[in-house]
Amino acid sequence: MANLLELRNITKIFRYGLFGFRFKAVDSVSLSLEDKPLIFTIAGESGSGKTTLARIILGFHIPEYGEVLYKGKNIHKLRGYDVKWYRREVQAVFQDPYASFNPLKKVYNYLRETAINIAGIGRDEVDGYIDEVLKAVGLSLDKVVNKYPHEFSGGELQRVAIARALLTKPRLIIADEPVSMLDASLRINIVNMFKDFKERYGISFIYITHDLSTAYYISDNIAIMYRGSVVELGPVEKVLTEPLHPYTQVLIESVPIPNPKARTKWLETIKLSSVVEEKEFIARGCKYASRCPYVMKRCIEEPPPDIAIGSRVVKCWLYSEQKT
């Protein structure tokens, strides 16, 4: 089966400050999404590079090395009509819905402009079309038409943002931490929408998150990122129930257990920091070596290769002798 999206050895380099050191925010990442409806999660702690990778896919950042292919076309070389085609095919939902809208502009104007200019809906039909899409996210045109962003709750405005993405009838939606700013009671509603839209409209999602519970609930496949590298990749059931990489294991152990008796053990066991450390980004070998309980001399001296184990790929020297 052909791929809907393919990332080939993507590397993005940033610099700390004006005269600071250069580091690879995304380091030789290769991923692919089959051309069928699925939800692919990219998970990791703050500073892992998952949002930078999402912005590269959206075309906001240009990688120093590698290429992003959507339906076989390099998105960073699109010109003219193809740019509009890509914007119609690939939409985004961001973490903060209030940052996605101009506070001085009515939300309806955004929806109307998207429907007309990108989706190509006729002016006589646009209101009916917008109303239909809003109803798919539990809203209606009457509830939206004369309101500014600040007049919506966070959950309502995020649903408006999702509706705006749906207006173009996209094939792929990049959802970057779409529920992290919402109350826990509202998160399940949003992720259930994604599952429903995957089945109903045939939309694929790249779901960016640090929340492994929603990742497990919503995903088909998952990639775990650490300091710009994908350290483990595979079916979500396998990766989150039988983790191979030491970092994946620590991430799963860091999820609090709702058991008061386990609190002391959890606090003693988990030592997970989100501090961006220079030595990890520019490490010669494995970037996780300074924290790994299984670190070997080889881990410090050489970067680990991608090792295929069954349906998964893991970047770890522990598995270098295992058969694929």
229 alpha-carbon distance from chain centroid: 14
CB 38 within 8 A of CB 204: yes
User: What predicted TM-score, i.e. pTM, was given to this entire model?
Assistant: 0.91
Q: What is the four-CA torsion angle of 197, 81, 93, 105, rounded to 10 degrees?
A: -120
**Whole-number Å distance between alpha carbons of 10 and 230:** 11
pLDDT exceeds 80 at position 272? no
Predicted confidence band at 267 (pLDDT cuts at 50, 70, 90)?
Answer: low
pLDDT the model gives residue 274: 44
| Residue type for position 58 | L
Domains parsed from the chain with CATH numbers? 3-319 (3.40.50.300)
pLDDT the model gives residue 290: 85
Mean pLDDT (whole number) for 70-90: 95
Residue 61: how many CA atoms within 13 Å on its side-chain side? 20
pLDDT exceeds 50 at position 232? yes
Tally of CB atoms within 10 A around 211? 18
Nearest to 190 by CA among 114, 93, 315: 93
pLDDT exceeds 80 at position 263? no
The pair of three-digit structure tokens given for residue 320, joined into one six-digit string = 């270098």
pLDDT exceeds 50 at position 275? no
pLDDT 10s digits, 123-154: 999 999 999 999 999 999 999 999 999 999 98
pLDDT the model gives residue 241: 93
Length of the chain: 324
pLDDT the model gives residue 151: 94
Nearest to 118 by CA among 174, 167, 52, 153: 167
Nearest to 67 by CA among 12, 24, 10: 10
Non-local (6+) Cβ contacts of 88 within 8 A are 118, 119, 168, 169, 170
Q: pLDDT averaged over the chain?
A: 89
pLDDT exceeds 60 at position 193? yes
Mean pLDDT (whole number) for 3-25: 89
CB 203 within 8 A of CB 37: yes
Question: When comparing pLDDT for 272 and 183, which is higher?
Answer: 183
**Whole-number Å distance between alpha carbons of 27 and 50:** 11
Helix, strand, coil percentages (3-state) for the chain, rounded to 5, are 40, 25, 35
